[in-house]
Amino acid sequence: MSKSQFALIISAISIILLLFFFGRNTPLKETTGANNIGAANSFDIDAYSEEIKQKLMLKPRDSLSLLQSLVSKRKPDSLNIIYLQQIAGIWENNSNFALASDFYRRVATVDSVATRWELAGDKLFEAYKISSDSLLRNYLLTNAVDAYTNVVLLDTSLIEPKIKLASLHVDELQNTMAGVTLLLGVVKKQPQHLAANLILGRLSLVSGQFDKAKKRLNTVLSVEPENTEALLFLAGVYEQTNETDKAIEYYKKCKALIKNPTIKQNIDKYLNKLINK
């Protein structure tokens, strides 16, 4: 499994805990993401940038003002891209990753190629995960979705951006069908793709499609037998289908591989309930 794939699916651990230790097995709520889009459109990123800029030390503040002035005086070109990248770097050096990510997005709007848009999407999503302001988060998420969408449109052969976009639709926007459509396209081309099968397996479990879940998760395990997420999800499938012995077996396999003590404790509690049925 690549680092990018693992980074995407490891975040599912919180969902795993909800699924198996709080008993959720109903279909996910479907939305269009309209609320997020509306909130993003109402957020004035330039006003926010100016507000934060005034709180910076004199040197970075003056550098930002100069670069912004240079950008505003030029038509979009290669030099403009350099200025925008320098602005992004200043914001990163001052630990404002939200504003930095927005300037990576602006670079991509000038030089609209797949690699630029994917980098922008990565930066926007990383900033979204650590931001606390709800309006800013919606702005970042909406633009991350737009960035990955642009990647997919510009280069249909790329797989990882489709996984990233599908994950945002499924886990952040609850726009499940859009995510599933993307994932099914991935597994049609790469039937054993780990991240795509893992997410599809998890969704099948949540929606009660247990045969489909088994197929997807066993595909993951056929390639990566010690994939803890797949083991844990499959244990949940067997528990839901009253195959208690297999559920216990897979919970134990998962527990032996997991290092997080909190998750181990939760698995122990669940094992005790199954064993003492």
Q: How many domains does the chain have?
A: 2
From the number of C-beta atoms within 10 Å of its C-beta (0-12, 13-18, 19+), residue 119 rates as: middle
Residue 212 structure tokens: 């489909």
pLDDT of residue 186: 97
- State the pLDDT at residue 36: 56
Judgement on whether residues 41 and 83 belong to the same structural domain of the protein: yes
Q: Which helix (H) or strand (E) holds 273?
A: helix 261-275
Query: CATH no. for residue 11?
Result: 1.25.40.10
Looking at the structure, tell me whether residues 142 and 234 fall in a common domain: no
Tell me the residue ranges of DSSP E strands in the chain: none
Q: Are residues 77 and 159 in the same domain?
A: yes
Structure confidence at residue 41 (pLDDT): 67
Cβ contact 198:227 at 8 Å:
yes
pTM for this entry: 0.85
**Which residues, in sequence order, are CB contacts of 89 under 8 Å at separation 6+?**
100
Using DSSP, state whether 193 is helix, strand or coil.
coil
Residue 115 shares a structural domain with residue 42 = yes
How far is 148 from 141, CA to CA, in rounded Å? 11
Same domain, 74 and 186: no
* Domain edge (last residue) among 124, 140, 174: 174
Report how far apart the first and last C-alpha atoms of the chain are (Å, whole number). 37
Instruction: Provide the residue type at 260 as one letter.
Output: N
| pLDDT given at position 81 | 96
Both 252 and 192 in a single domain?
A: yes
Q: Where a domain ends, among 153, 174, 195? A: 174
Do residues 188 and 268 both lie within one domain? Answer: yes
Q: Are residues 170 and 47 in the same domain?
A: yes
Burial of 212 (0-12, 13-18, 19+ CB in 10 A): middle
Identify the pLDDT of residue 142. 97
Burial, 40: exposed, middle or buried (Cβ in 10 Å; 0-12, 13-18, 19+)? buried
Asked which of 148, 174, 200 is the last residue of a domain, the reply is 174
pLDDT of residue 38: 53
- Do 164 and 99 share a structural domain? yes
Q: What is the mean pLDDT of each run of 10 residues along the chain (277 residues)?
A: 37 44 41 52 92 97 97 89 97 98 97 98 98 96 98 96 97 95 97 96 93 97 96 92 95 92 87 88
Sign of the dihedral through C-alpha 124, 126, 128, 132: negative
Assess whether 85 and 207 both reside in one domain.
no
Instruction: Tell me what pLDDT residue 263 has.
Output: 85
pLDDT of residue 8: 38
1-to-4, 6, 12, 194, 259 alpha-carbon distances in Å: 8, 6, 15, 7, 19
37 shares a domain with 23: no
Residues 104 and 226 in one domain: no
- How far is Cα 187 from Cα 196, in angstroms, rounded to an integer? 7
119 to 36, 82, 104, 151, 210: CA distances (angstroms): 21, 15, 7, 10, 36
Is residue 145 within 8 Å of residue 173, measured between CB atoms? yes
pLDDT of residue 74: 83
Write out the residue range of the structural domain in which residue 238 sits: 1-28+181-277
